[in-house]
Every structure is written in structure tokens, then in C-alpha cells.
Amino acid sequence: MTERKIALFPEFSRICCDLYDEINKELKTEQPEISEHSIGFIYGYRESLKLSISRLNGNLVFKGFYNGHDLLVSPIGKHKNAETFAACAKYIKDKFGSGRIGAIPKTTAMELAGAGFKPVADRDDFDYIYSVKELIELTGEKFHAKKNLVNNFVKRYNYEYRALDTLLLPECLELHEKWCNLRDCRSKLSENVEDRMVLELLKNFSHWKLFGGAILIDGKVQAFTLLEELNRNTAVGHVEKANTEFKGIYQAINQFTAEKLLSKYEFVNREQDVGEPGLRKAKLSYNPVSFAEKYYIEI
């Protein structure tokens, strides 16, 4: 008899590397639209969000803890949705007294609303969806400033763009450490969570079949990005870090990556703005074509 790797609900298993194939198989079947249903989220945040995993009605359920709140992530899978969410709600009520089921895709939320649940739109958690073609071409007035920054970057610096490989990872880690120290990120909850996610993904880059790119200036990594395939026509970008001493470097790595690595996809999901005004402004400035809307149910 084959040993079951993932615990059956209401038991939960620690998320470890041995579960990668089983989780990845479910993701490939689902073809998800939201960034929480990705290897980068599941493994990147497994420690900082204290994520664990369970199987319920053929779906994968994730339990976590963030900012003082217990939560369940919307299940991966669409089997018996109403029954599955009812069991999750009862679990939260019985075990914690209160909590939240978050990151519920819009189509699932609408189905649940018809079954008597009360999902609430979570604008801060909406994923931004961009046209890869637009990010490559940067044509028209709406991209005029971005195009100028990229063009000036190309003229000004002795740069090279390379697909990310294991040889570049130590320099990426070094750049991230510099970026983090400048912002004192380990003293702030949200940035500390992100910091640990970046380290997880860089250190396990090959194991989890991520891909990415880096800009080298005078032979040294000054920007990098990490992505994965979310579904057949969409990639999801998990990380983008750069040394802002080089003007236009963020715009450059965005455009170079779209052109060199994302041309096989129609869209790229660049995740949420978490309600941070500066980040929201930056993401809106790239003119998203849509949002992957997400909802939550408060218990």
C-alpha cells in the first residue's frame, strides 16, 4: 500500500520538499489564476506564515498564521466547494474561535455566495495582470515614461541580461541582503515575511523549477527577478529586486524579462500591492489589463 504523504483533514502536514511532486501535480491540474496557488507562495512562505497542508474532498487546504490571525487559504481544487468551505469554517470556529478563509478566487466566491456564504472582496489582495506583449513593446503614451527610462538605461550602462542560473544565485543573495539592510526589513513584519520568502526561493531555485533573469553591470549582478509558470498562458512574478543607484534599472529588468523569458505567455501576474500606497501606484503605472480578484470569508 502506498503511504499517503499529505494528511487528511482535519489533520495537517508540515510542508516539506518531499511533498513537492504531489502539490505540483495538483497545481498543474487546477491551472490556477491567483498567486497564492503557486509553488512560490506555498514554499516561499511556508516558514514565515507557518503554512501546513491537508487534503479535504480531493482538495488541498493550507493553514497559516499572519499578523496575529489564524487563516486558511482558499483550497486548491474545486471539488464539493460548498461542503469543503463549510468544513473549513467549522474547523476555524471549533479550533480558534475566529479566523479567516482568504485568497478565494472570484468564480469560487460567487458560487459560495449562492450557497449562503458571505465572501468579501479584498482589494489589497487583488493580483495585477499585465499583457506580456505590452510590457515588451512599451508603446503608446501610457508607457512613454517607462520606455524612456529603459532606453536611457541601455545607453548609459555597460550591462548584460542573463537568464538566472545557479552560478548567479550567490550574487543575487548578496544583492538581496544589501537591499534588505538598507530598508531594515527584518524589523518590520511584512518586509521580514517577504525577506524570508526571497531567501527560500533563491536557495531552492532549481528544486522548485523556478526561472528568472538578472542584469549584470560591469560584470556584477545589480538586479534579479524570480518567476514560475502559473498556468498555460500566464507566468507569475514572485520577486524583483534591484540596486536603484542605477537609474531605470527596475524598468529595464521588467522589459528585458518580458522580452527574453515571457514571450511564450500571454499574461504575467505580478501579485498584489497589499494596500501599500507606493506599491499600488507603481503597479498601476504599468497599466494592468485586469485583476485576479480575491475574496475572504470572516469566521
Convert the pLDDT of each residue in 196-207 to its tens digit: 999 999 999 998
Is CATH 1.10.1500.10 correct for 13-125?
A: no
pLDDT of residue 5: 86
Do residues 18 and 5 make contact, with C-beta atoms less than 8 angstroms apart? Answer: yes
Phi and psi torsions of 15, nearest 5°: -80, 115
pLDDT of residue 191: 66
Phi and psi torsions of 53, nearest 5°: -135, 150
Distance CA 271, CA 238 (A): 7
Q: Is the Cα dihedral 244, 248, 251, 257 positive or negative?
A: negative
Per the model's pLDDT, the better-predicted residue between 120 and 208 turns out to be 120
Per-residue pLDDT, averaged over 51-64, amounts to 97
Confidence of residue 4 (pLDDT cuts 50, 70, 90): low
Do residues 117 and 297 make contact, with C-beta atoms less than 8 angstroms apart? Answer: yes
Q: For residue 68, is pLDDT > 90? A: no
Could you give the residue ranges of the DSSP H alpha helices within the chain? 20-30, 39-44, 81-96, 106-114, 132-137, 144-156, 169-182, 189-203, 249-261, 277-284
Share of the chain above pLDDT 70, in %: 97
**Per-residue exposure over 48-82, b if at least 16 CB sit within 10 Å of its own CB, e if not:** bbebbbbbbeebbbbbbebeeebbbbbbbbeeebe
**Extents of the domains making up the chain:** 13-125, 127-271
pLDDT of residue 190: 61
Do residues 233 and 267 make contact, with C-beta atoms less than 8 angstroms apart? Answer: yes
Q: For residue 1, is pLDDT > 70? A: no
Torsion over CA of 117, 121, 127 and 131, rounded to 10 degrees? 100
Per the model's pLDDT, the better-predicted residue between 217 and 180 turns out to be 217
pLDDT tens digits, one per residue of 271-289: 999 999 999 999 999 999 9
Is this structure's pTM higher than 0.85?
A: yes
Topology alike, domains 13-125 and 127-271 = yes
The backbone region for 287, taken as left when phi is positive above 0, alpha when psi lies in -120 to 50, beta otherwise, is left
Distance CA 143, CA 56 (A): 45
DSSP characters for 186-219? Answer: GGSHHHHHHHHHHHHHHHTTTTTT-EEEEEEETT
Per-residue pLDDT, averaged over 242-271, amounts to 98
pLDDT tens digits, one per residue of 108-161: 999 999 999 999 999 999 999 999 999 999 999 999 999 999 999 999 999 999
pLDDT tens digits, one per residue of 77-90: 999 999 999 999 99
Distance CA 172, CA 194 (A): 15
Per-residue pLDDT, averaged over 239-266, amounts to 97
Q: For residue 241, is pLDDT > 70? A: yes
Q: Which residues pair with residue 268 across a beta bridge?
A: 130, 235
What's the mean per-residue pLDDT of the chain? 94
Q: For residue 246, is pLDDT > 70? A: yes
Grid cell at residue 13? 502536514
127-271 to CATH, choices 3.90.1300.10, 3.90.1200.10, 3.40.630.30, 3.20.10.10: 3.40.630.30
pLDDT tens digits, one per residue of 161-181: 999 999 999 999 999 999 888
